[in-house]
Amino acid sequence: MWLIPGKPPRSFFCLVALFIGCFIPVLAQEKIKGAEQSRKVSSIVKDKQNTSVNAKILALFELAQTSPQALEAQLEKLNDNLALYNSAESYLLLLVKAKLLLASGKIDSAFSVLESAKKLTTDLPEHVLNQPKFLQYHLLMADSYAVKKQFDLAFAEKKEYLKRYEAYSDKKNADTVSMLNKKYETDRKLKENELINNQNILKQFQIRDAENQKNAQQKNFILLIVTTLVFFVLSLRQFKVRRVLQKMAQTDSLTKLLNRKALFAQGQLQTSKAVEEQSEFSAIVLDIDFFKRINDDYSHDIADKVLQQVAKLGNETMRSRDIFARIGGEEFAAILPEANLDEAKAIAERLREKIFEYNFSHLGIECPVSASFGVASLHQVIPQFELLLHAADKAMSVAKKKGCNQVVSFSPHQQM
């Protein structure tokens, strides 16, 4: 034995180890069970304050009406230990039991059960006790008193039932009204919010629409300006082109002088003016002498340059109001407003001299170039430009016939 002082035997340590190995897990499990139980109890205590009622217990009330036998069986199934249920459930269970007892004529037992139920009312709030199922207590009490012929007490219980039921109904109605009011308020606010949201969306659309309209107006305005500018530029160009074309139609391309058509237009205008104002108006026709020979001897190009030079000399010699034009191959004409026959003849003479004295040697033409001139005045003919020019042409023919390079005035005895 190890009681003897000294080292304990090895078997002792084995026993201790066995004890620890077997009992410690058992002890631990017991501790866990204890904790679970205390947790259960605390949850039951908690449930006691809870007034929610299990649906199974509520269903017992329906069963009491329809099948008392089935109710009895159900009650047996349910655990009789009231500690498992909260106060509300226990109260209702007791009412169902009392109902069953009353139905089977066990009035005293029913009273006793109802007494137990009454004790629970201290745990239950008034609004729970006023609920129809809980109010069954008073009806059961009234029925019990009635069986015992204690009608005053039965009446008092019925009265209490009605009073509480009325209170319950009033509260329920008030709750319903309050709930409906709240719902109405909530719905109204939701609708208001929806309306505000819709208004905001509408405003955003309106703003966007206004911006789009503004942009479209700006675009249209820019388009209008661009179109106007393009139209203006095109019109200007067309106007210039038309002027160029008009000028081209009136101009002799070689000499840049007015052509025959343009001279006739101007001549008719000036004739009318002179007739109207009864002023002097004369015309000169000149034809370069032996021009065919120049063409033949010096080439067509050289002959063209001679034409250009004669045009230049003619232009230089005319007064600012006179018009010098090319009316045919080597034939030119001038219209001289406010010039009488002598003045016209003097201008023609000056030009004849200039042409004859001009040195064409730079074109290879060594001999002088000459021209024959015919001059006529408006008062010598019927006042029409065609007739005036024809008279000057006649006079020019006479100058040719007389030997060229001279100026001849029209005289009425010359054949028209």
Ligand X SMILES: Nc1nc2c(ncn2[C@@H]2O[C@H](COP(=O)(O)OP(=O)(O)OP(=O)(O)O)[C@@H](O)[C@H]2O)c(=O)[nH]1
**Helix ranges (DSSP H) in 251-384:** 260-277, 291-298, 300-317, 341-357
Confirm or reject binding of residue 291 to ligand X (CB under 6 A): yes
Among 89, 280, 287, 393, binds ligand X (CB under 6 A): 287
What is the closest distance, in whole angstroms, from the C-beta atom of residue 289 to ligand X in the complex? 4
Tell whether residue 400 is a contact of ligand X (CB under 6 A).
yes
Tokens standing for 260?
A: 């025959």
Q: In whole angstroms, how far apart are CA 319 and each of 234, 258, 262, 372? A: 38, 16, 18, 20
Which of 60, 113, 154, 303 binds ligand X (CB under 6 A)? It is: 303
329 binds ligand X (CB under 6 A): yes
Dump the DSSP string for 19-86. HHHHHHHHHHHHHHHHHHHHHHHHHHHHHHH-----HHHHHHHHHHHH-HHHHHHHHHHS-S-GGGS-
- Does position 252 bind ligand X by CB under 6 A? no
Tell whether residue 295 is a contact of ligand X (CB under 6 A). yes
Which of 290, 298, 350, 397 touches ligand X (CB under 6 A)?
290
**Which of residues 292, 319, 321, 402 is near ligand X by CB under 6 A?**
292
Q: Which helix (H) or strand (E) holds 329?
A: none
C-alpha closest to that of 410 among 353, 340, 319, 354: 340
Hey, what amino acid is at 389? L
182 binds ligand X (CB under 6 A): no
DSSP characters over 363-377 = GT--SPP-EEEEEEE
Contact stretch for ligand X (CB under 6 A) within 78-86, 295-303, 343-351, 376-384:
295-303
- Applying CB under 6 A, the site for ligand X has a residue count of 14
Backbone angles phi, psi at 256, to 5 degrees: 65, 15
Minimum CB distance to ligand X smaller for 139 or for 306: 306
Q: Which is nearer to ligand X, 280 or 330 (CB)?
A: 330
289 binds ligand X (CB under 6 A): yes
Question: Three-state SS for 188?
Answer: helix
Q: How far apart are CA 296 and CA 330, in angstroms?
A: 14
Q: Kindly compute the dihedral angle of the four CA atoms of residues 264, 266, 267, 270, in this order, to the nearest 10 degrees.
A: 160
Which CB, 321 or 401, lies closer to ligand X?
401
157 binds ligand X (CB under 6 A): no
Least gap, CB of 386 to ligand X (angstroms): 21
Per-position x/- string for 355-394, each x denoting binding to ligand X as judged by CB under 6 A, each - no binding: ----------------------------------------
Rounded distance between C-alpha atoms, residue 316 and residue 319, angstroms = 8
Q: Alpha-carbon distance 64 to 67, whole Å?
A: 6
CB 220, min distance to ligand X, A: 57
Please identify, using beta-carbon distances, which residue of 61 and 298 lies nearer to ligand X: 298
> Footprint of ligand X on this chain (CB under 6 A)?
287-292, 295, 300, 303-304, 307, 329-330, 400
